[in-house]
Amino acid sequence: MTPYFLHGARIVTRRTEAEGIYTFVLQFTDPAVRQAYRFAPGQFNMIYSYGVGEVPISIVSDPAEPALVEHTIRTAGRGTSAVTRWKPGDILGVRGPYGRGWPMEAARGRDVIIITGGLGCAPVVGVINYIFRRRDEYGALHILHGVKTPSDLLYRERFDLWRRQPRTSVYLTADHPDKSWQYRTGVVTNLFDELTPNPAAIVMMCGPEIMMHYAIRTLRAKGISEDSIYLSMERHMKCAIGLCGHCQFGPRFVCKDGPVFNYTAVKPWFGVSGV
Amino acid sequence: MLAKPRLQDLLDALGQRGFRVLGPTVADGAVLWDEVRRLSDFPVGRREQQQPGRYRLEPGIDGEIFGVVNGPGSLKPAFFAPDEPLLEIERERKGFRVREVVPAPTRLAFVGVRACDLAALAIQDRIFLHDCFRDTHYAARREHALLIAVNCTRSAATCFCTSMGTGPEAKHGHDVALTELDDVFVATAASAAGETLLAALHLPPASDEIIRAAHERLDACARAMRRHLDTAELPRLLYEELENPRWDDVARRCLACGNCTMVCPTCFCHTVVDVTEIQGKVSQRVRRWDSCFSLEHAHTHGKNFRPHVRDRYRQWLTHKLASWIDQFGTSGCVGCGRCLTWCPVGIDLTEELGAIQADRRQRGRQ
């Protein structure tokens, strides 16, 4: 069978997270596909909508419950603009899961620092939920999140919820705050004034590359080793199986070698313009 | 030993075995792969002149069948189709039904495959058959193909296969190899299928003298190759030269037309699009060749990662000669020279890499 084959999946529920951001719970219509399906945090599916095309979307639900697959999608390009019309009962095409996810084994027993920027950042939501469900297995959890303006801070309640979890701290900052903003001002790296990371901590990041670039610099200065830093990359993808060539980043294919990379695997190309 | 007129017997034998036989034929002022039934379908008595940005067919040597080294078409489109449906998706009252579009089984025989193109095919096999996923559409056509190679006894001015270790003699992946002499071919079987095929022709053995003459022609061809590419220090060299000013220089000449990627026998980039028929009942997922020179190639929502021609030329050359090695354990270049010939402004990758290498040596001395 062609690796491009799509399996039907029914939308079970739809939840609006914020304007233009929706979470869909999907269930494969074929019981055999449903039973065989397994995934890891940080992996993604290709999601097809009839007559429109496919988009790579990361999985945010827990791998312990693979029968229901949850995706948070922000309407952005052509592929995702159809999302607003999706409703419970609709059938989508799904193939996956693809890629390498977050290093949940390597993180076990260590402090975890999560750094994100911009809107949404679904790839790390799965990790955060994963850790909360296995709270004893991980050390302190620090969530650092930077936005351009306060209106970019989606799911404010979710950050409040996370903040109340055991051994968890949440740090927020905005480049351009308004009067209502009660958190820090400036770029995400400024947040390290408040946080002295354990040098043995593991770091997971996603967001704009420029943000990750500066975050890595700060982390290194704080004594975190390069091989303790993981990041989720985003590139144009058509196949998700390492064949279409679009997602290349240096010698890496973001779809099959990533989307989560150890920093050392992408370091020579990271921050080089036009790669 | 195969007397030249008896090449017809080989074509007939392939036809009888159910193969569609393809060979180099003259079309639109160049040589292209097409069906061959008679020897006169080949570009007999012709040679071509190739230079960066230039291709001309010219009168050659009377009776020479494989005098033209190559044309813009490699074997690539025969297996990795430029445009083909992968899935057909039929809309139903609730949802849709997905059906794989299975390519019709084809038995293709290619007569006149050059060593560089065999090497390129091995690279495409590595990508489409032996990577993480097996591409069933590629496999359906590739599985039954029969390859009759022709060893090169002359090279075009754009050829540099000796630098890439791929030619002029066919090494792997073919079923039969032919070396053309004045009146005869030396025919060598290189697979079980090739042996069966040649056995059916009841060929007389070639004399030592003939075999020696064939070797001499191949050696002479290799010695006469003037264009070279220095592969030492690759891939590291290009990784360290991402900011070399030569990329700006070549970007001023490059039209970003993507011709080089279309004629390249190994370039595999493609896109997959939805093509919906007019009534909206059936949609196909269609795979189409794409090029890293297109502006869309590295475009994600809100950001284009390679907005400049410099970025895109650098991506192509760095991929072809460097990162390909990390990805697939082989260079992506086989030295066929097509990207030079078919570049409308005659950009020569051996010259571009050479300039970067020279610049590096210069800096090293300072």
Instruction: Please judge whether B133 and A77 are an interchain contact, meaning their C-beta atoms are less than 8 angstroms apart.
Output: no
Compute the distance between CA of residue B146 and CA of residue B127 in angstroms, rounded to an integer: 20
pTM of the model: 0.94
Compute the distance between CA of residue A215 and CA of residue B8 in angstroms, rounded to an integer: 69
Give me the interface pTM, i.e. the ipTM: 0.93
Taking only the tens place, the pLDDT of each residue in B74-129 is 999 999 999 999 999 999 988 899 999 998 888 999 999 999 999 999 999 999 99
Question: What residues of chain A score a pLDDT lower than 50?
Answer: none
Chain A residues near residue B305 by CB distance under 8 angstroms: 235-236, 274-275
Amino acid at the residue A109: G
Residue owning tokens 């030396």: B186
Residue owning tokens 């006894």: B153
Per-residue confidence (pLDDT) for residue A155, from 0 to 100: 76
The alpha carbon of residue A113 is apart from the nearest alpha carbon of chain B, in Å, by: 27
Q: Tell me the count of A-B CB pairs closer than 8 A.
A: 132
Give CA separation, B349 vs B103, B227, B346, in Å.
36, 11, 10
Domain ranges of chain A: 7-98, 104-266
Question: Exposed/middle/buried for B336, CB within 10 Å: 0-12, 13-18, 19+?
Answer: buried
Per-residue confidence (pLDDT) for residue B11, from 0 to 100: 98
Compute the distance between CA of residue B86 and CA of residue B103 in angstroms, rounded to an integer: 9
Best of A7, A91, A243 to disrupt the B interface (most B CBs within 10 Å) is A243
Q: What is the CATH number of domain A7-98?
A: 2.40.30.10
CA nearest neighbour of B288 among B278, B296, B279: B296
Instruction: Please judge whether B135 and A238 are an interchain contact, meaning their C-beta atoms are less than 8 angstroms apart.
Output: no
Which helix (H) or strand (E) segment holds residue A8: the answer is strand A7-18
CA nearest neighbour of A26 among A40, A46, A41: A46
Backbone angles phi, psi at A72, to 5 degrees: -105, 125
Taking only the tens place, the pLDDT of each residue in B148-173 is 999 999 999 999 999 999 999 999 99
Tell me the H-state helices in A17-139: 31-36, 78-81, 104-107, 122-133
Compute the distance between CA of residue B333 and CA of residue B322 in angstroms, rounded to an integer: 10
Give CA separation, B70 vs A87, A254, B157, in Å.
55, 35, 12
For the four alpha carbons of B27, B32, B36 and B39, in that order, the dihedral sign comes to: positive
pLDDT band at B199 (very low <50, low <70, confident <90, very high): very high
Best of B98, B236, B308 to disrupt the A interface (most A CBs within 10 Å) is B98
Instruction: Please judge whether B276 and A51 are an interchain contact, meaning their C-beta atoms are less than 8 angstroms apart.
Output: yes
Do B353 and B317 contact (CB within 8 A), yes or no? yes
Joined together, the tokens standing for residue A48 give: 């097809």
Nearest CA in chain B to A267: B239
Chain B residues near residue A241 by CB distance under 8 angstroms: 132-133
CA nearest neighbour of B283 among B21, B89, B145, B44: B89
Interface of A to B at Cβ within 8 Å reads 1-8, 10, 29, 48, 50-54, 76-77, 80, 89-91, 93, 234-236, 238-239, 241-246, 248, 250-251, 253, 256, 268-269, 272-275
CA nearest neighbour of B33 among B84, B74, B81: B74
CB contact set of A8 (below 8 Å; sequence gap of 6+): A28, A29, A30, A91, A92, A93, A94, B95, B96, B98
Joined together, the tokens standing for residue B229 give: 């590419």
| Average pLDDT of the residues of chain B | 96
Taking only the tens place, the pLDDT of each residue in B295-319 is 999 988 778 999 999 999 999 999 9
Domain ranges of chain B: 2-84+103-224, 236-276+292-365
The alpha carbon of residue A201 is apart from the nearest alpha carbon of chain B, in Å, by: 30
Instruction: Please judge whether B314 and A274 are an interchain contact, meaning their C-beta atoms are less than 8 angstroms apart.
Output: yes
Compute the distance between CA of residue B127 and CA of residue A140 in angstroms, rounded to an integer: 43
The alpha carbon of residue B113 is apart from the nearest alpha carbon of chain A, in Å, by: 25
CATH of A104-266, one of 3.50.50.60, 3.40.50.80, 3.40.190.10, 1.20.1250.20: 3.40.50.80
Joined together, the tokens standing for residue A146 give: 């930077």
Per-residue confidence (pLDDT) for residue A21, from 0 to 100: 84
How many CB atoms sit inside 10 A of residue B78's CB? Answer: 17
Nearest CA in chain A to B310: A274
The alpha carbon of residue A250 is apart from the nearest alpha carbon of chain B, in Å, by: 7
Whether B179 shows a pLDDT value over 70: the answer reads yes
How many CB atoms sit inside 10 A of residue A16's CB? Answer: 10
Helix axes B349-365, B309-318, angle to 10 degrees: 90
Taking only the tens place, the pLDDT of each residue in B335-366 is 999 999 999 999 999 999 999 999 999 998 77
